[in-house]
Amino acid sequence: MSIPFYVISTLAVFIFSGLLAMAGLGAAFLFVPLFYYMGMPLAEATPAALLLNMVSLMFAAVNYWRGNLINWRVGLPVLITAVILAPLGARLTPLVDKTILLGLFAAFLIFAGFMMLFYKARARQKPLSQATESITGAGVGSVAGFVGGLLGVGLPALTSEVLPKAISSTSMATTTVRIRFLDILSSS
């Protein structure tokens, strides 16, 4: 690979990190394939992408916290379950066949794309109970933590399309705060 390719890649990483952090999303779902294409082994590309997520989204999380935009009844169960299961997914990454991981990553990108393009959230007739919000958060956090650790995809990419549909009062801020802790654990 040539020097201009690396310069362009570096600029793309910087720009996409900033733009997606403003939206409360990480860019690991873009960086893992980029790093892999650049010759980085998949087991190294995932933690590197999650580390970049952590750095860029840390600033967004602080702003959401200051703005009181976090639904803690959902965020804490997601955080706890994701923190427990993300390292398990990350530890399994080197043990899973690379073809399977790339297939799962492609399936994730297709799912996320369809959810963003075609799914329309509807307002709930009545709000969910606190227990239902917490249970839903824990379930989503479990799956998102494990899959996020396995594929090197941060929680915002996984939960930003699921949680707001499941719990109408959840903001992107809740997702962003949880990812800070998950990214730290997944990349270690």
Query: Quick one: how many helices (H) and strands (E) in the chain?
Result: 9, 0
- pTM for this prediction: 0.63
Helices 42-66 and 172-186, packing angle to 10 deg: 140
Sequence letter at residue 116: M
**pLDDT under 70: residue ranges of the chain:** 24, 121, 154-188
pLDDT of residue 156: 56
| Euclidean distance between CA atoms 177 and 185, whole angstroms | 14
Q: Which two tokens stand for residue 159?
A: 């939960």
C-alpha pair distances (Å), 158 with each of 8, 52, 66, 107, 178: 27, 16, 24, 12, 12
CB 8 within 8 A of CB 34: no
pLDDT tens per residue, range 52-89: 877 777 777 777 778 887 777 887 888 788 888 888 98
pLDDT of residue 188: 47
Exposed (0-12), middle (13-18) or buried (19+): which is 117, by Cβ within 10 Å?
exposed
pLDDT of residue 163: 53
DSSP assignment of 149-161, as one string? Answer: HHHT--HHHHHTT
